[in-house]
Every structure is written in structure tokens, then in C-alpha cells.
């Protein structure tokens, strides 16, 4: 290419950058454009963080087996990036492996050459633009190319500085300035989202408020600075006990609110509440004047309490003041919700006992597909209650009836029986796809479950190949009784039935389970998939789950795929199976396999 042609192309590229308003796309266009200009294989943006760290914001073009490099964080004195940062100028290394900057993991990934340029604004290095060659460079960067990289780095520095300023302003608008917790505005925004997804995902949402008992005494005796420090301590301790998907908000004064999103059982909410209450039973102040601290909590649970937004918070608040009137240092469930839930629960238990016998329970099916092609490879059976007066109900709407182990076991037995009939029908029509069913914690703990399952397989009216039946166990319930879970998994696999660990990543020590439980697949929880496009931490976690599954010879299935961007990221990560609204919603059998279902 002639020099004037190159100049024209560069000007056009800079114009494109100037017109791009989306900051994430801006960074990628800049890095990828530089890689293209230099005939390189990859490009990355590394952000400078506190404590002398550099962290990859993204890494475009890294070889697939080494995708985890895109989430790396390392000391800012290391590598070519560290050298460019401290020299405050671009540095090019033509033979990476032989250079003093070589890092073993990048040598192993096959990095041949590297060019790093500091990204600066107002005299401070904010980031590093890194251009990478995983093959020997066809041409080396000349002085003109180095100058152009400097210009693009300045563009990126201005954009990054502007983005950080905007983020600080957004932070002030959505977060409490003292503790950094969400403020009231963000709380209600997150609550609205949690309520919507609770119904869609068939889960519960806990809404909790709490404040510090006798906080005025702490301020009066210890001073407001110590009172403020206590509020920050409260925030830190609570964040240590909740998930990244939950929301902690400071509403004002010493009052906090908490949203527990995507919860399966009432008990799980109560467990978190009790942990918080115990974690905040502390003594506060200097050694010579320490004051005992405790909190009072009130809570309600959506959609059992089907109030909306402000009313849910008000109900939790009402329960909190009941806790204070009762002496503090306790948690109270909103009375109206409790009374309504108790009546509702009693009615549901009676009705549920009749529902199975009256044919009111039905299965809907959500496909699990090849992410690349969209081809259906298996399907998950999801329970629905066709209630005679309330219409089609999803599990959160009759969760109370399932909290009794007897009902859970009855429902599991019914689901297995229906699944075997459906598989027989599919296989009779030449459809050999795996049907996954979900088991309750009660079945995991039932030592006779595998014998019952074996008996059902032996007595099914039409023969079924059990290799096309899959069992899904929720990770959280599985790890409560790891030995029972292991025995059940071994028993199922002896029968030829595959086992998946559902909601993977939401329990504790998840990767340990890949080694200790003989499972066939994991289903990566949708909370991690939801943040793939925006949150680098979620990308690192998902990539590590996929890599670990592959290392153990286990299939990884991504749940909750809703956008094309999530699909593309997962494909790049090496994930081949997925499930979510992007592909299909849960549907009746006659919509999934029109030719296989019986006429109605």
C-alpha cells in the first residue's frame, strides 16, 4: 500500500473512532484497528488498577485454548505492558520468548512478538494498548506506525478519562456516598428487575430491611465518625455474606435494605438473614468504651407477597418495626404475608394432593441446543400446574405445597413416570434425544430412590433406553448432603442415566465438585451468563467453569442465553451447548416435537 493510501486509511479510521459513542465498542475498534494496521493477530486493552495491577479488559484474537488469558491480572512491573507503562512510551519486542519481559503463560500460548503503548490522560497512565503476534511478524512497525499508535492511544486515553468521569457521576447518582452501597433509586430499579425475573425464572425474591438497634446511643457515646465507620462495617460484613447478584442498599441513616434474587426456597432466605444477624452481633468502639451492636430485620417474599415495588419495601419495613417492638436482635416475616402464606399454603397442600390424581400437572419443555447451529440436542422438562381456577401456574406460585418432603417425593415420582412415557413415545417415533428432569432435595436424601427408579424402568409399559434420561440436581441442595448425592449419582449412572449439576457456580467450592462427584455435565447458572457482555469478572468465571469442565471431561451447558452477543462470547469460550430464550421458551410437547406427541 502506498504511503498516501495508508494515510487516507488512518484518517478514515480516526474519524470512525471519533464517531463511536459506545465506550466498549470504541476500545475494541481502536485495538483491533491497530492490529489490522500492523498485520498482527491479536489486540488487548489492559486497565491499570489500584495496588499496582494491570487487568485485561478484553483480549481479541488470543488462541482458543488460551482464552483464560483474557481475564489475567498481574503486577504492573511485569511484561512488555509493564515496561511501556513505566517508560511512558510504546515498546516493541520482536522476539517475545527471548526478551527480558517474557511471561511464561504467554510464551506457552505462542506469543511471538508484542507491541505495547501507554494510554494516558492528564499526565497519568490509565491503561495499556497491547498488539500481539502469535505468528512471526510479516513486517516490523516503522516510525510512522509507532507515531500512529501514539495518536490512537491518546484517543483512547481521552475516551477512558471521559468514561471514568461519567461512571463517577453515575456512581454519585446511584450509590450512597458514605458506604458505597446502592441508594434508594438503584434499589427500586433492581427490585423491579428481580420481580420480573422471579416470575420468568420460577424463583422467589426476598426483600429485607434492617437497622442497628439503638444507633443513636452509638452516635451519642462514640461520636458520629465512629457511627459512620460502623455503617461502613455493616455494609462490608453483609456483602461478604451475599451473592454478587443480590443488592444491598442504604436507604438513609442506619437503615439498609437487601434484595435476595433468584432464590428457590423460603429456607434459603431465612438462612441468609440469620447469618447476617449473627455477623452483626459485635462490640463497637475503642477498648475503653465498647458498645454492644445488634440489628432488627423485617422481610417479605415475592411473589408469595404479590405487592409491588414500594409496597414490598413498606411491608418489610413494617415487619422490621415489629422486630424492634419485640425487643430487637431478631427477624420478623411480614405478618400479612405470613398469614396469607399460611392460609394459601394450607389450601395449596390440600389441592396439590388432588392435582396429581386429577391430571392437573403437566410438563413443558425447554430445548437445550447446539449453540453454533441451534439444533436441539436435548430438552429439559419443567413442571406446570394447570389449576382449575388460577390458570397455568409455575413452581414459585405453588412452592409452599412442595416444601413438605412427602409432596416433593410424590411429584418427583410423577415426573419420572411422565418422562418415561414421553421418552417411549419419542423413541417410538425415532426421536432419540435426552430428556432432562429435575429432582428435589428430598429425592437426593432418599436412600431408596435408585431402587424406585430401577423398578419404574423395569415396569414401564413401553421399553425405554435409559441412556436418554437425564437427572438434574441443584448444586446447592447437592452439597448439603454430599454423600447422599454421590450415592444417588453413582446409582443413576449404573442404570445408564446421565446426571447434570444445575445452577452451577451458585454453591460453595463448585470446582471441587467436578472432582468429587461423578457427574456428566454442569449447567452454568444464568446469573453469570447475564453479565457476560458487560462484566469482565463474569467472563473470567464462566471461562474458568468451561475450562474446568473440559479438563474433567464434563460437558458445560450455559443457561439463560438471551442475546446474540452472549451466544458469540460463549462460542469463543468453547461452550458448545446452551439453553435460553434466544433459542426457545418452555413449550408444550406438541410444539417441541409436533410429530411425537399424542393427539389431544
Banded model confidence at residue 344, pLDDT cuts 50, 70, 90: low
Identical topology for domains 184-333 and 363-592 = no
Tell which wins on pLDDT, 460 or 378: 378
Fold entry, domain 184-333: Alpha-Beta Plaits (3.30.70)
Taking residue 436's Cβ as centre, other Cβ atoms within 10 Å add up to 25
Residues 6 or more apart from 397 whose CB is under 8 A from it? 303, 385, 390
What's the whole-number mean pLDDT along residues 32-37? 77
As a residue count, the chain comes to 600
Tell which wins on pLDDT, 439 or 511: 439
The C-alpha cell of 1 is what?
Answer: 500500500
User: CA-to-CA distance for 410 and 403, rounded, in angstroms?
Assistant: 12
User: CA-to-CA distance for 480 and 487, rounded, in angstroms?
Assistant: 14
pLDDT, one tens digit per residue, over 475-529 is 666 665 677 788 889 999 999 999 998 888 765 445 666 777 889 999 998 888 9
For the stretch 243-269, what's the b/e string if a residue is b when 16 or more beta carbons lie within 10 angstroms of its beta carbon? eebbbbbbbeebebbbbbbbbbbbeeb
pLDDT, one tens digit per residue, over 147-188 is 778 777 777 777 777 777 777 776 667 888 899 999 998 999
Does pLDDT of 359 surpass 50?
yes
CATH of span 363-592: 3.20.20.450
Kindly report the pTM of this predicted structure: 0.52
* Residue 308, Cβ density class (10 Å: 0-12 exposed, 13-18 middle, ≥19 buried): exposed
pLDDT at 272: 93
Fold entry, domain 3-174: Beta-Lactamase (3.30.450)
Q: What angle do CA 279, 283, 285 make, to 5 degrees?
A: 130
pLDDT at 600: 37
Give me the residue spans of the domains in the chain: 3-174, 184-333, 363-592
pLDDT, one tens digit per residue, over 532-578 is 888 887 888 899 889 988 988 999 999 999 999 999 999 999 999 99
pLDDT at 159: 77
Average pLDDT, the chain: 84
pLDDT, one tens digit per residue, over 573-595 is 999 999 999 999 999 998 998 76
Taking residue 356's Cβ as centre, other Cβ atoms within 10 Å add up to 15
Does pLDDT of 9 surpass 60?
yes
The C-alpha cell of 492 is what?
Answer: 443413576
For the stretch 7-42, what's the b/e string if a residue is b when 16 or more beta carbons lie within 10 angstroms of its beta carbon? eeebeebbeebeebeeeeebbbbbbbbbbebbebbb
What's the whole-number mean pLDDT along residues 46-63? 78
Does pLDDT of 450 surpass 60?
yes
Does pLDDT of 337 surpass 60?
no
What's the whole-number mean pLDDT along residues 439-463? 84
Amino acid at each position: 500500500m502506498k504511503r498516501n493510501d495508508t494515510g487516507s486509511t488512518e484518517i478514515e479510521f480516526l474519524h470512525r473512532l471519533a464517531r463511536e459513542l459506545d465506550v466498549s465498542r470504541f476500545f475494541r475498534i481502536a485495538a483491533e484497528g491497530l492490529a489490522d494496521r500492523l498485520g498482527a493477530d491479536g489486540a488487548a486493552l489492559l486497565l491499570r488498577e489500584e495496588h499496582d495491577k494491570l487487568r485485561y479488559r478484553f483480549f481479541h484474537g488470543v488462541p482458543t485454548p488460551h482464552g483464560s488469558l483474557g481475564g489475567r491480572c498481574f503486577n504492573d512491573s511485569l511484561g512488555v505492558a509493564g515496561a511501556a507503562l513505566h517508560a511512558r512510551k510504546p515498546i516493541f519486542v520482536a522476539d517475545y520468548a527471548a526478551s527480558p519481559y517474557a511471561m511464561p503463560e504467554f510464551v506457552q500460548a505462542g506469543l511471538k512478538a508484542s507491541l505495547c503503548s501507554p494510554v494516558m490522560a492528564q499526565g497519568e497512565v490509565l491503561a495499556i494498548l497491547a498488539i500481539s503476534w502469535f505468528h512471526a511478524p510479516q513486517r516490523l512497525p516503522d516510525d510512522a506506525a509507532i507515531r500512529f499508535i501514539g495518536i490512537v492511544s491518546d484517543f483512547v486515553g481521552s475516551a477512558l478519562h471521559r468514561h471514568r468521569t461519567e461512571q463517577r457521576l453515575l456512581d454519585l447518582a446511584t450509590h450512597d456516598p458514605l458506604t458505597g452501597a446502592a441508594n434508594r433509586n438503584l434499589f427500586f430499579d433492581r427490585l423491579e428487575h428481580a420481580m420480573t425475573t422471579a416470575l420468568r425464572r420460577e424463583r422467589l425474591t426476598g426483600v429485607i430491611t434492617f437497622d442497628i438497634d439503638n444507633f443513636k446511643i452509638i452516635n451519642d457515646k462514640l461520636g458520629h465518625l465512629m457511627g459512620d465507620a460502623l455503617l461502613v462495617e455493616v455494609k462490608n460484613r453483609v456483602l461478604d455474606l451475599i451473592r454478587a447478584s443480590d443488592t444491598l442498599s442504604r436507604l438513609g441513616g442506619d437503615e439498609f435494605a437487601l434484595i435476595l434474587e433468584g432464590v428457590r426456597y423460603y429456607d434459603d432466605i431465612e438462612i441468609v438473614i440469620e447469618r447476617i444477624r449473627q455477623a452483626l452481633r459485635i462490640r463497637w468502639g475503642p477498648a475503653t468504651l465498647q458498645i454492644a451492636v445488634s440489628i432488627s430485620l423485617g422481610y417479605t417474599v415475592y411473589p408469595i407477597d404479590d405487592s409491588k415495588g414500594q409496597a414490598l419495601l413498606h411491608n418489610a419495613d413494617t415487619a422490621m418495626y415489629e422486630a424492634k417492638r419485640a425487643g430487637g436482635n431478631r427477624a420478623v416475616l411480614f405478618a400479612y404475608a405470613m398469614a396469607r402464606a399460611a392460609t394459601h399454603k394450607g389450601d395449596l397442600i390440600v389441592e396439590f394432593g388432588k392435582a396429581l390424581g386429577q391430571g392437573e400437572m403437566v410438563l413443558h419443555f425447554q430445548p437445550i441446543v447446539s449453540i453454533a447451529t441451534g439444533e436441539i440436542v436435548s430438552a429439559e422438562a419443567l413442571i406446570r400446574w394447570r389449576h382449575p381456577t388460577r390458570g397455568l401456574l409455575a413452581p414459585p406460585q405453588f412452592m409452599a405445597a412442595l416444601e413438605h418432603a412427602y409432596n416433593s417425593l410424590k411429584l418427583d415420582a410423577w415426573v419420572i413416570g411422565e418422562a418415561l412415557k414421553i421418552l417411549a413415545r419419542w423413541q417410538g417415533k425415532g426421536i432419540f434425544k435426552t430428556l432432562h428432569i429435575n429432582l428435589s432435595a428430598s429425592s437426593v436424601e432418599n436412600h431408596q430412590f435408585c431402587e424406585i427408579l430401577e423398578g419404574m424402568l423395569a415396569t414401564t409399559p413401553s421399553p425405554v433406553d435409559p441412556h436418554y434420561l437425564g437427572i438434574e440436581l441443584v448444586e446447592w441442595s447437592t452439597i448439603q448432603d454430599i454423600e447422599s448425592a454421590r450415592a444417588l449419582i453413582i446409582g443413576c449412572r449404573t442404570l445408564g442415566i446421565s446426571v447434570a449439576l444445575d445452577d452451577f457456580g451458585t454453591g460453595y467450592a463448585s470446582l471441587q465438585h467436578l472432582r468429587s462427584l461423578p457427574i456428566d455435565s454442569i449447567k452454568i447458572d444464568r446469573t453469570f451468563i447475564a453479565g457476560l457482555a458487560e462484566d469482565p469478572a463474569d467472563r473470567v468465571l464462566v471461562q474458568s467453569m468451561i475450562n474446568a469442565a473440559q479438563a474433567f471431561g464434563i460437558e458445560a451447558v450455559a443457561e439463560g442465553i438471551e442475546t446474540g452477543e452472549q451466544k458469540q462470547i460463549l462460542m469463543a469460550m468453547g461452550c458448545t451447548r446452551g439453553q435460553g430464550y434466544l433459542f426457545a421458551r418452555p413449550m408444550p410437547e406438541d410444539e417441541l416435537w409436533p410429530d411425537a406427541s399424542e393427539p389431544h
